[in-house]
């Protein structure tokens, strides 16, 4: 089966140097100009297969949201290519991107911030349908909106209410309805349950899973809740400082994590019968994406680091299990 999305060697860097005057620095009696660049996403290669849920995990600031936004065309990559069903979509202007906007939708963490407070639910849901399907009649648009509202569990009688009149869980249902109403194939969900009460999280997850089954959707799912990720994902990509260090099926990753960072990350999940492989305590400073280490991004904190790790960026290595890891230690057979 061919991939729905192919991300090849993508970098997304942000220049945060500020104005020319902000960039000037006095060092050793000389004025020099210094640029500051946040290397949020680095050399990411990933494919997403139709119908799967590919999750991205990693600690705060590792570039998960930036990668999702770059895939969605909200940021232009500095390097690399992104293809949707074989068509290059990176660097398309907003008009050329329009046909893909109906196919690719995004759900955000904070449903309140992502819904226009001045529009009622009917307006929020009808606007994208009308925009993308100018030939539909008023009654057809209304029928489509009612159908999607029922699917997400918001009674269409509430359609004239405004976002602030709903609870957090209901608002996230409306955000999901807004994504579904244009009949997408692919949804990037960035921490869609993180802002919700624990009792509501399971309902929203079930809603996303049911929608996937009914509509054959493909998900890029971002969450820092590893037990949720284990439960819902087909495959999982582990990110560290903008790089993908391991990509494996959820089953393989959670039962047999290979990369030292994945092992450390998973060792923090409490489990019945003890944690996987005991707790791994990482030492060293957490580097920032402004000053990336020269070799492997994880080299500063890796317990298995050697000279090569500090100098050479590890290539992606496909293991017999099908997992992909980027680690010199695994390649050299010493981990
Ligand atoms: N628009 C921007 N301008 C400058 N820097 C940015 C921008 N967006 C993100 N960054 C930086 O890029 C890095 C990655 O951020 P990102 O939001 O992608 O991380 P994340 O993995 O989604 O984190 P979290 O789990 O906290 O949501 C961070 O250092 C962040 O400060
Ligand atoms: Mg984020």
Per-residue pLDDT tens for 183-237? 999 999 999 999 898 889 999 999 999 999 999 999 999 998 999 999 999 999 9
Q: Are 10 and 44 in contact (CB under 8 A)?
A: yes
> SS3 for 32?
strand
Q: Establish whether residue 291 lines the binding site of ligand 1, counting it when its CB lies within 6 angstroms of any ligand atom.
A: no
* Residue nearest atom 16 of ligand 1, based on CA coordinates: 63
Alpha helical stretches, state H, the chain: 20-23, 64-71, 94-103, 111-114, 121-132, 138-152, 168-180, 198-215, 226-232, 250-255, 260-266, 307-311, 328-331
- Output the CA 38–ligand 1 centroid distance in Å: 9
Q: Establish whether residue 16 lines the binding site of ligand 1, counting it when its CB lies within 6 angstroms of any ligand atom.
A: yes
Compute the distance between CA of residue 208 and CA of residue 225 in angstroms, rounded to an integer. 16
- Output the CA 125–ligand 2 centroid distance in Å: 25
Query: What is the chain's pLDDT, residue by residue, as a tens digit (335 residues)?
Result: 699 999 999 999 999 988 888 888 888 888 888 889 999 999 999 999 999 999 999 999 999 999 999 999 999 999 999 999 999 999 899 999 999 999 999 999 988 888 999 999 999 999 999 999 999 999 999 999 999 999 999 999 999 999 999 999 999 999 999 999 999 999 999 999 998 988 899 999 999 999 999 999 999 999 989 999 999 999 999 999 999 999 999 999 999 999 999 999 998 777 665 555 567 778 777 778 998 888 999 999 999 999 999 999 999 999 999 999 999 999 999 98
Q: Are 152 and 177 in contact (CB under 8 A)?
A: yes
Would the CA dihedral through 88, 70, 198, 245 be positive or negative?
A: positive
Q: Establish whether residue 171 lines the binding site of ligand 1, counting it when its CB lies within 6 angstroms of any ligand atom.
A: no
Q: Establish whether residue 286 lines the binding site of ligand 1, counting it when its CB lies within 6 angstroms of any ligand atom.
A: no
From the number of C-beta atoms within 10 Å of its C-beta (0-12, 13-18, 19+), residue 62 rates as: buried
Model pTM score: 0.94
Closest CA relative to residue 240, chosen from 327, 129, 312, 173: 327
- Output the CA 281–ligand 2 centroid distance in Å: 24
Compute the distance between CA of residue 53 and CA of residue 145 in angstroms, rounded to an integer. 25
CB-based contacts of 196: which residues, under 8 Å, 6+ apart? 168, 169, 172, 204
C-alpha torsion 236→210→162→102, nearest 10: 70
Q: Are 287 and 306 in contact (CB under 8 A)?
A: no
Minimum-distance ligand to the CA of 40?
1
Atom of ligand 1 nearest to the CA of 239: 21
Residue 273 is predicted with a pLDDT of: 57
* Residue nearest atom 9 of ligand 1, based on CA coordinates: 66
DSSP code for 110: -
- Output the CA 180–ligand 1 centroid distance in Å: 26
Which tokens is 228 given?
């949720």
Q: Work out the end-to-end distance of the chain between its first and last CA atoms, rounded to an integer number of angstroms.
A: 33
Minimum-distance ligand to the CA of 287?
1
């Amino acid at each position: 089966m061919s991939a729905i999305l192919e991300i090849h060697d993508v970098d997304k860097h942000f220049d945060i140097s500020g104005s020319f005057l902000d960039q000037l620095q006095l060092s050793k009696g000389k004025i020099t100009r210094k640029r500051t660049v946040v290397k949020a996403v680095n050399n990411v290669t990933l494919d997403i297969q139709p119908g799967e849920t590919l999750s991205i995990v990693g600690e705060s600031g590792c570039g998960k949201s930036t990668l999702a936004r770059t895939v969605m065309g909200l940021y232009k990559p500095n390097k690399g290519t992104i293809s949707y069903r074989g068509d290059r979509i990176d660097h398309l202007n907003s008009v050329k991107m329009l046909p893909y906007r109906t196919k690719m939708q995004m759900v955000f963490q904070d449903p309140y911030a992502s819904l226009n407070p001045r529009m009622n639910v009917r307006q929020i849901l009808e606007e994208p349908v009308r925009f993308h399907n100018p030939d539909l009649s008023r009654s057809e648009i209304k029928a489509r909106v009612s159908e999607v509202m029922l699917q997400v569990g918001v009674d269409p009688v509430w359609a004239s209410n405004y976002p602030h009149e709903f609870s957090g869980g209901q608002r996230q249902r409306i955000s999901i309805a807004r994504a579904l109403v244009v009949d997408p194939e692919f949804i990037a969900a960035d921490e869609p349950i993180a802002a919700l009460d624990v009792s509501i999280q399971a309902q929203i997850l079930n809603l996303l899973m049911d929608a996937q089954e009914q509509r054959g959707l493909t998900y890029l799912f971002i969450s820092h809740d590893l037990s949720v990720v284990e439960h819902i994902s087909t495959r999982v990509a582990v990110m560290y400082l903008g790089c993908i260090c391991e990509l494996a099926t959820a089953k393989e990753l959670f039962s047999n994590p290979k990369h030292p960072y994945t092992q450390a990350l998973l060792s923090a999940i409490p489990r019945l019968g003890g944690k996987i492989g005991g707790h791994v305590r990482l030492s060293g400073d957490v580097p920032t994406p402004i000053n990336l280490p020269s070799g492997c991004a994880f080299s500063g904190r890796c317990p298995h680091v050697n000279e090569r790790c500090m100098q050479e960026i590890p290539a992606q290595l496909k293991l017999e299990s099908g997992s992909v890891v980027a680690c010199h230690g695994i390649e050299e057979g010493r981990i």
